[in-house]
Structure 1
Amino acid sequence: MPYLGRRLVWGVLLPVLVTGAAFVLAFRWLPRLPGDVALHWGDEVNRSGPIDELLWTNGGMAILSLVTLAVFALTTGRTSLVRRLVLGLAMGQSVFFAGLLLAPLAAQLDTESGTVPQGFDAYVMSAVVLGLLAGAAAALTAGSDARLPATGPVAGDKAELGTHERAVWIKRVTPTPKFVVVGALVGTAVLGILAWTSWLSGSWFGFILGVVILALVSTMLVWRVKVDSQGLTAQAILGWPRLHVPADEVEGAESSGGQSSPGVWWLGNSHLTPTQPSGTVGVIIRGGEAVDISRSGERRVVITVNDASTGASLLRALAQRNRACHETG
């Protein structure tokens, strides 16, 4: 498990400091808050109550997110893709939830009970922006994978290639029509609920944020998978996330079936123990056959894609050719 120091800093220590600082500031603000704070409001305050309800509801979400992602930061991350994603989420969500804890309090500082909070949306938007920046900083500095060239022959039958022949295998991976229909219905329902609650509250921040999140998620449901002399590359339609397995790190590749978690970006943690953390990462967009790659460093990559047997056969051939070139060169 590489980069333990960075996983500790970005995944545990800094999130704890950010969350702790938010609680300290919240408690310091208590004398400046009204006896009954606004808990829900639109053009006027619809419900008010003691500060404990507001403080511990948002604070509880912050602590739950902190603990969950800290565990992932310490037990996963053998590959850079997983490490960047987990540490980015851990740092970004700690900043966002800290802002979510403080925003309704900051909007009610030095006000009387029953006063409609002002500036709440601006505070939450600031938390979103700062969270994205903090998450990006953690992801960018999480550390790249060290090169681990594999040794020995590549197992399995290989595509027939002449000495000077080149070959490229490219496939587009999309969800099944059933998943698209169900996803569209669910997304429409979610946006409808957000629109209704935003209209009632007079704040459209939640609806706008929901639209942005659903748009980003939808871009991660279409992937391009390519096998060439450089190895295997899979990337979402906008170019990120991106997963690359260099040809010289391929120990073996095969076609497997029965992947049963379609429609999600999947980070596998099978056989995860403190002494033998999983190095599995996969892109499971739909059920069916998949390219299953054994990668050096006890890592594994699984990608559901049509005609997986052809892709696996070509990858084995190109990986073996790469190995032979390095051994003779």
Structure 2
Amino acid sequence: MTSPRPEPRHRARFAIVVFGVPALLGLVALVLALVWLPELPDPVAVHWGTDGVNGYGPAWVTILLIPVLGIGLPALLGLIALTSAGTRLPPVSARWTGAFVPALSTFLVVLATGTLAVQRGLSDAHDAGGIGGVALVGGVAAVAVGVIAWFALPADPLPAPDAATGASAGAAGSAGSSSPAIRLGPGERAAWTAVTSSPPLVVWLIIAVALVPVVVFLIVPEAWSAMIVTAVILVIALCLLSWRVTVDARGLHVRALLGVPVFHVALDEIAAVRTVQVDPLAEFGGWGIRLGTGGRLGIVTRRGPGIEVERTNGRRLVVTAPDAATGAALLTGLRDAARA
């Protein structure tokens, strides 16, 4: 089932919010920093500890962070969203992305620019005060921009899931079809297994997000909890980026390559098996373990083919995997044989 292209005004508004707002904020901050340059001490303070300034460096280091983190990182996040969604901009995904990207840009720009503002007119950067107030202002501004962006983007709901497949009618190519069965003869056994991993683009996205708290810690070492956030992000990412999917006499078994988490659907719990085409953002709002349209639980690593299993209790599990059609066909055959 195909979907209509998003209205031009939706695409234009998404582009303005996701790319235009961070670019404008970054350019204004960059101009301010360059104008302030003659008023800044040499070197400037680049690192604060519990007792004040404890690290120094050339002013260009902080100035360079403004376009890199304030414009470059948000642009990367926006491009990843558009690349994954193709020509579709589902309202839910677009609004989350549109709210997060300018909010992140606002916080980083205010933080970088604020550390320079508190040093204007000083002959010695050691005399600069703390920047806790700068971080607070950045946080409040980020929340405000994120809320405004959320309401500025279209709020049209996604179309209702198709009754037969559970796929969103608004997600192109997501319609599923019942899988044919691979029949086994008496005494025959068979198993199918595949490893499904996230594409490099998603890996780089996770690395980029993990670097944000590192930058915050480097500028404000009191925020040591930021490093804990980075560690948590990386551990979770390692658990969710790659999975082994197995179909055998046990049923469907999905296990992260690190061993946990594990999902299992026994043969006697399976009501139907379908092959589907999965669009991570359009149907699940992203990658990893996600709750998608129609109440489906998804283990989503990439855009492409997947196996959808409907349990006898009505719950559905979707897992993306290469050669999903073969896995689904064998699972259907094993389920039918178990019922015979």
Contact between 1:291 and 1:309, CA under 8 Å: does it hold in 2?
no
Which letter maps to 2:154?
Answer: G
Contact between 1:11 and 1:73, CA under 8 Å: does it hold in 2?
no
Residue in structure 2 matched with residue 258 of structure 1 by the alignment: 254
- For residues 19 and 70 of structure 2, the distance between their equivalents in structure 1, rounded to whole angstroms, comes to 13
Distance 1:86 1:110, change over 3 A: same
Residue in structure 1 matched with residue 45 of structure 2 by the alignment: 38
Which letter maps to 1:281?
Answer: F
1:118 aligns with 2:129: yes
Residue in structure 2 matched with residue 310 of structure 1 by the alignment: 311
Residue in structure 2 matched with residue 104 of structure 1 by the alignment: 115
Which letter maps to 1:69?
Answer: L
Residue in structure 2 matched with residue 280 of structure 1 by the alignment: 283
1:47 aligns with 2:55: yes
Contact between 2:18 and 2:78, CA under 8 Å: does it hold in 1?
yes
Displacement of 1:11: 0.7
Which letter maps to 1:303?
Answer: G
Distance 1:102 1:256, change over 3 A: farther
Displacement of 1:78: 3.1
Question: What's the Cα RMSD here?
Answer: 4.7
Write out aligned runs for 1:183-262 (5 A): 204=222, 206-207=223-224, 258=254, 260=256
Distance 1:284 1:41, change over 3 A: closer
Deviation string for 1:170-210 (max 9, x for gaps)? xxxxxxxxxxxxxxxxxxxx9xx99xx79xx9963x14667
Which letter maps to 1:258?
Answer: V
Residue in structure 1 matched with residue 96 of structure 2 by the alignment: 85
Displacement of 1:104: 1.1
1:63 aligns with 2:63: no
Displacement of 1:87: 0.8
Displacement of 1:32: 1.4
Displacement of 1:282: 5.8
**TM-score, normalization: structure 1?**
0.52
Aligned-residue identity in percent: 19
Contact between 1:18 and 1:95, CA under 8 Å: does it hold in 2?
yes
Residue in structure 2 matched with residue 131 of structure 1 by the alignment: 142
Deviation string for 1:52-96 (max 9, x for gaps)? 122214542223213202314544363333112211111101111
- For residues 220 and 79 of structure 2, the distance between their equivalents in structure 1, rounded to whole angstroms, comes to 38
Residue in structure 2 matched with residue 174 of structure 1 by the alignment: none
Distance 1:50 1:282, change over 3 A: closer
Distance 1:291 1:259, change over 3 A: farther
- For residues 79 and 158 of structure 2, the distance between their equivalents in structure 1, rounded to whole angstroms, comes to 26
Distance 1:16 1:259, change over 3 A: farther
**Long gaps (5+) in structure 2:** 166-176, 180-209, 237-250, 262-276, 300-308, 317-340
Q: 101, 105, 108: which one pairs with 1:94?
A: 105
- For residues 135 and 11 of structure 1, the distance between their equivalents in structure 2, rounded to whole angstroms, comes to 11
Deviation string for 1:117-174 (max 9, x for gaps)? 21411012111111112112212332223463577856769xxxxxxxxxxxxxxxxx
Deviation string for 1:231-277 (max 9, x for gaps)? xxxxxxxxxxxxxxxxxxxxxxxx976375877xxxxxx988xxxx9
Distance 1:128 1:256, change over 3 A: farther
Contact between 1:291 and 1:311, CA under 8 Å: does it hold in 2?
no
- Give the number of equivalent residue pairs: 222
- For residues 148 and 61 of structure 2, the distance between their equivalents in structure 1, rounded to whole angstroms, comes to 33
Which letter maps to 1:280?
Answer: E
Residue in structure 2 matched with residue 9 of structure 1 by the alignment: 16
Moved over 4 A (4+): 149-157, 208-211, 259-263, 282-286, 290-293
- For residues 15 and 291 of structure 1, the distance between their equivalents in structure 2, rounded to whole angstroms, comes to 29
- For residues 150 and 47 of structure 1, the distance between their equivalents in structure 2, rounded to whole angstroms, comes to 56
- For residues 202 and 73 of structure 1, the distance between their equivalents in structure 2, rounded to whole angstroms, comes to 30
- For residues 220 and 283 of structure 2, the distance between their equivalents in structure 1, rounded to whole angstroms, comes to 45
1:23 aligns with 2:33: no
Distance 1:65 1:152, change over 3 A: closer
Which letter maps to 1:56?
Answer: L
- For residues 291 and 98 of structure 2, the distance between their equivalents in structure 1, rounded to whole angstroms, comes to 27
Distance 1:64 1:38, change over 3 A: same
- For residues 151 and 41 of structure 1, the distance between their equivalents in structure 2, rounded to whole angstroms, comes to 55
Contact between 2:93 and 2:282, CA under 8 Å: does it hold in 1?
no
Q: Tell me, what secondary structure is at the counterpart of 2:60?
A: helix
